[in-house]
């Protein structure tokens, strides 16, 4: 079957490859409809590795997907052929110690689509455990279904933050994940979310949502903006979504006494950390690695209309043009948030 294969760093091919198609008793088989292009897919393309995960053999890309079930295993009761679904790309060992604690995202044995050596799903069909496959409500499109995976990271961040209604949040970084975090923070009860970036274009996309206020770092510091917005008290929750080492300088000055700092962005190297700044305010520090138990909630929010991810889809490509989609993603246009690939023929 045809798939988008990353042959080696910098070399993509749309070609035939053998992918396992055996439907186990607890699995479903999905005809893939829409797949989002993720920053991690692009990073494997341009760098051939992310931290300890190194591409050593050709790998199919893609992990943000929605589609239609075409076969179900004999034990599957929750889903049926014809159901429209989206998929959680990580498959943990359900009997592992982490899974038993409800922390299956940090199960060391997790197999995650398009993380070497595991193939992704930029292909016409995928087989996946029913337990990590979620039915789309009728009002949720395939395009929105493929946005659930990146939004789930925002959901996990908002969950870890333990938001209280009326909280003021500050998000560092208006990239795709920063915007997802801001939307999840609002949905979680924040009264207002300040978001900072150096890109006016990215900020404009974020601030088009009611409740999100843009802070352009070319014009002011985030500390000054948070100070003004909270009359010197600080934000209840600060989300670091840039992964930039510079963001950690003065990070805790943004947090109110007793507030929380939630680390979402992944810095490439070790960063300096102002321990005294955190201790003097008794800042609660939380970290976010992917997500666990949030896909159902994300789908409920999208179906209810409380979260609208459609404006964030800024380009859609046909499957045959997948490589062009990736080359555009490499350009990292500031006006692009999410590019998607339509794998299904009929669209």
In whole angstroms, the minimum distance from the beta carbon of 259 to Zn ion comes to 28
Q: How far apart are CA 264 and CA 118, in angstroms?
A: 23
Q: Is 264 left (phi over 0), alpha (psi -120 to 50) or beta?
A: alpha
Q: How far apart are CA 71 and CA 127, in angstroms?
A: 9
Q: Is 231 left (phi over 0), alpha (psi -120 to 50) or beta?
A: left
The residues that bridge with 341 in the sheet, in sequence order, are: 35, 317
The tokens 């409380």 sit on which residue?
306
Nearer to Zn ion, 50 or 223 (CB): 50
The DSSP string of 13-50 is EEEE--------TTEEEEEEEEEE--HHHHHHHHHSEE
Give start and end residues of each alpha helix (H) in the chain: 39-47, 97-100, 142-145, 148-161, 176-187, 200-207, 222-229, 275-281, 295-304, 322-331
In whole angstroms, the minimum distance from the beta carbon of 195 to Zn ion comes to 20
In whole angstroms, the minimum distance from the beta carbon of 264 to Zn ion comes to 13
State yes or no: residue 147 binds Zn ion (CB under 5 A): no
Size of the site for Zn ion (CB under 5 A): 2
In whole angstroms, the minimum distance from the beta carbon of 298 to Zn ion comes to 13
In whole angstroms, the minimum distance from the beta carbon of 143 to Zn ion comes to 15
Nearer to Zn ion, 115 or 141 (CB): 115
Query: Strand, helix or coil at 320?
Result: helix
Enclosing H/E stretch for 12:
strand 11-16
Nearer to Zn ion, 23 or 266 (CB): 266
- What is the 8-class DSSP label of residue 118? B
Rounded to 10°, the helix 322-331/39-47 angle is 90
In whole angstroms, the minimum distance from the beta carbon of 153 to Zn ion comes to 8
Nearer to Zn ion, 215 or 325 (CB): 325
Nearer to Zn ion, 64 or 236 (CB): 64
Cβ-Cβ contacts under 8 Å for 83 (sequence gap 6 or more)? 68, 69, 135
CA-to-CA dists, residue 99 to 90, 105, 131, angstroms: 12, 8, 13
145, 136 Cβ separation under 8 angstroms: yes
**By CB under 5 A, what part of segment 1-40 binds Zn ion?**
38
Nearer to Zn ion, 38 or 195 (CB): 38
Q: How far apart are CA 294 and CA 10, in angstroms?
A: 33
Contact letters (x/-) for Zn ion, 235-274, by CB under 5 A? Answer: ----------------------------------------
**By CB under 5 A, what part of segment 265-324 binds Zn ion?**
none
In whole angstroms, the minimum distance from the beta carbon of 116 to Zn ion comes to 15
Contact letters (x/-) for Zn ion, 50-89, by CB under 5 A? Answer: --------------x-------------------------
Nearer to Zn ion, 211 or 267 (CB): 267
In whole angstroms, the minimum distance from the beta carbon of 63 to Zn ion comes to 6
Nearer to Zn ion, 176 or 277 (CB): 176
Nearer to Zn ion, 64 or 88 (CB): 64
In whole angstroms, the minimum distance from the beta carbon of 339 to Zn ion comes to 12
Residues that bind Zn ion (CB under 5 A): 38, 64
């Amino acid at each position: 079957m045809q798939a988008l294969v990353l042959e080696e760093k910098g070399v993509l091919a749309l070609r035939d490859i053998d992918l396992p198609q055996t439907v186990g008793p607890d699995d479903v088989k999905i005809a893939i409809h829409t797949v989002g292009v993720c920053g991690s897919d692009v990073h494997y393309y341009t760098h051939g590795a992310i931290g300890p995960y190194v591409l050593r053999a050709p790998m199919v890309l893609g992990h943000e997907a929605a589609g239609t079930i075409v076969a179900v295993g004999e034990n599957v009761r929750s889903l049926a052929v014809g159901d429209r679904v989206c998929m959680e790309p990580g498959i943990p060992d359900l009997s592992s110690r982490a899974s038993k604690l409800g922390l299956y995202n940090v199960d060391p044995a997790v197999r995650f689509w398009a993380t070497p050596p595991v193939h992704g799903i930029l292909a016409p069909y995928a087989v996946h455990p029913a337990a990590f496959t979620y039915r789309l409500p009728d009002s949720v499109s395939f395009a929105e279904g493929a946005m659930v995976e990146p939004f789930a990271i925002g959901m996990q961040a908002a969950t870890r933050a333990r938001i209280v209604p009326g909280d003021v949040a500050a998000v560092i970084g208006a990239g795709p994940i920063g915007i997802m975090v801001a939307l999840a923070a609002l949905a979680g009860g924040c009264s207002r979310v300040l978001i900072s970036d150096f890109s006016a274009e990215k900020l404009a996309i974020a601030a088009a949502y009611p409740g999100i206020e843009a802070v352009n770092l070319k014009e002011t510091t985030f500390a000054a903006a948070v100070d003004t917005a909270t009359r010197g008290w600080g934000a209840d929750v600060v989300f670091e979504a840039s992964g930039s080492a510079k963001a950690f300088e003065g990070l805790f000055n943004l947090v109110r006494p007793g507030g929380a700092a939630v680390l979402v962005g992944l810095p490439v190297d070790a960063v300096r950390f102002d321990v005294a700044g955190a201790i003097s305010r008794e800042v609660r520090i939380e970290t976010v690695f992917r997500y666990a138990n949030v896909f159902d909630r994300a789908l409920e929010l999208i179906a209810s209309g409380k979260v609208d991810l459609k404006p964030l889809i800024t380009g859609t490509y046909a499957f045959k043009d997948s490589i062009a989609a990736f080359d555009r993603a490499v350009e990292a246009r500031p006006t692009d948030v999410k590019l998607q690939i339509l794998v299904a023929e009929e669209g």
